[in-house]
Amino acid sequence: MSSLLRPADVVFEIDLAALQANFQTISALVGPGVRVAAVVKSDAYGLGLVEIARALIQVGCDLFFVANLDEALLLRSSHIGAAIAVFCDEFAKFGQYYRSMGLIPVVNNCIELHAINAARETQTYFLNVESGFSRLGLAFVDVRRTYLSGTFEQHPPSVVLSHLACSERAEDPINVLQRNRFRAVYDLLRPSRGSLAASAGVWLGKSYHFDIVRVGSALYGLNNAGIEPNPLQPVASLRAKILDVRNVARREAVGYGATFRTIRTSRVAIAAIGYKHGLPWTCANKISVRFGGYSAPLIGRISMEYATIDLTDVPAALCGPGSFVELLGKDFKVDDLAAAAGVNPQEVLTRLGAGCARQYLTSSSPSAAQANAGERHEPLALE
């Protein structure tokens, strides 16, 4: 039996023009001497890997970072001709794919570095160094040992990078410590390019920019650094259909656990969105949604597929069954929802992107043919 095709009850909308504007804002901030690379890992934070990459190419982005080889191969097979760097996957095991598809491995340990050096063909690679994050990357002692052995002279990295732990807190002394440690490695190896700052790190100033900034969250409208006034445009919006509206008597419970009880006879809507779609369970009884110029509180616990809304103060003509309620938009952004729910805004984006039907808004921009002109499988020049 064929599946029933119908419009989605939950729509996660991505504004590609806002995405492009954010890229241009960051490019203007760092200046022409610094390359802005896009971090599109985890399906571009849930917004759609290929669609996001194509939109960014139109405004001049030519370097993308992905999480693993699967994402890199998907991006390359979609005729993306830009340089693609893979944050973490086994070059020692999958070197043939890196070479044949023109992908750049990020080397995180001595095993991978040995595989690069042992390869018969010269391989472009980026070197990740540990500066105080304690996740991935070569420790300084390993960098120094490898340097003294002459390995970097024979097989130099195109880019040396590291990752800041506390860049969203501008006054945290760890930022200065990591910058100084990274500067020591940068000065020792003298690579063609260096990259320390990600999204929040961009706002720390020129001394953190080096040659490349790796921007993910900020492209997608997340203001992790809390910059005011916020120069970033919201990229994601969220709407859900009203399935039913009912009258609920005073002092009646709404939802699991009776966490909300009406204080008056209320008009309550059941919206077709729940934690299955990525709406945080912890935002129950903490946020409001919008119908035109009106707002209405979300009441009771979030269910797997439903949420309940108090419509008592909203004109009935605006919010009957079949109408859509706005949960995210210009007035209430992903950052706001994350703060209310006590979760990470990146987590909100990736969960919504995985659980909702995505729609894309575009505006006048260079054609797709222009965006993909000159497609090729070798990495773009990094010199």
Instruction: Report how far residue 197's alpha carbon sits from residue 186's, in angstroms, rounded to the nearest whole number.
Output: 14
SS3 191: coil
Q: How many CB atoms lie within 10 A of CB 118?
A: 10
Instruction: Report how far residue 196's alpha carbon sits from residue 215's, in angstroms, rounded to the nearest whole number.
Output: 11
Query: Are the C-beta atoms of 136 and 88 separated by less than 8 Å?
Result: yes
Looking at the chain, list the stretches that DSSP marks H as alpha helix, in order from N- to C-terminal side.
16-30, 41-45, 49-57, 69-77, 91-100, 110-118, 140-148, 151-154, 173-189, 334-341, 345-355, 368-371
Q: Which of 93, 186, 206, 256 is catalytic?
A: 256
Instruction: Report how far residue 86's alpha carbon sits from residue 107's, in angstroms, rounded to the nearest whole number.
Output: 9
Residue 182 backbone phi and psi in degrees, to 5 = -65, -40
CA dist 372 → 16, 24, 213, 260 (Å)? 17, 19, 23, 53
CA dist 147 → 128, 136, 244 (Å)? 14, 19, 67
Annotation says 256 is catalytic: yes
Instruction: Report how far residue 162's alpha carbon sits from residue 186's, in angstroms, rounded to the nearest whole number.
Output: 10
Q: Which residue has the tokens 């991935």?
A: 136
Instruction: Report how far residue 212's alpha carbon sits from residue 27's, in angstroms, rounded to the nearest whole number.
Output: 11
Annotation says 275 is catalytic: no
Q: Which of 41, 45, 186, 333 is catalytic?
A: 41
Q: Which residue has the tokens 């909300």?
A: 260
Query: Are the C-beta atoms of 242 and 270 separated by less than 8 Å?
Result: yes
CA dist 305 → 14, 267, 285, 336 (Å)? 22, 20, 16, 22
Q: Which residues are catalytic?
A: 41, 256
